[in-house]
Structure 1
Amino acid sequence: MTSLYLLIPLSLLLLALAVWAFFWAVSNDQFDDLDSPAHRILFDDDLAAPPSRRRAKAPAERDEPRR
């Protein structure tokens, strides 16, 4: 029974801390947009790879052995 005198105020303190943390998170926009970061990885990048500036070599100019 004497442990209840310690545990009840301790649980109320932890409850108050959890409520404060929740309202702090809401006021600092932590729950503003939960879906976009998870879906952002699925979208392709808008920037395309730059085209190569070297022109393709003709088959005679390549460094391959002749057959």
Structure 2
Amino acid sequence: MIDKETQRRREENLGLAIASGRLEGNSPSKEFLYDANQYAKGFITSDEFVARMRSRYSVTD
């Protein structure tokens, strides 16, 4: 588990990223929001968060 300050920073940074995307006309999917919440709370690592997105959108190296 992560400490409260790390969780707060993650939530703030994700909120800013989502807001930026919305300003550009994009809407995050329910799946992305779920994964973002899991990451913010420390249930998954940043590597797992990225891996889920890459898998969801079939992004390869």
- Higher gyration radius (CA): 1
Same-fold call, TM cutoff 0.5: no
Specify which structure has the higher proportion of helix.
2
Report 1 or 2 for greater relative contact order, CA contacts < 8 Å, sequence distance ≥ 6. Answer: 2
- TM-score range (shorter-chain normalised) is 0.3 to 0.5
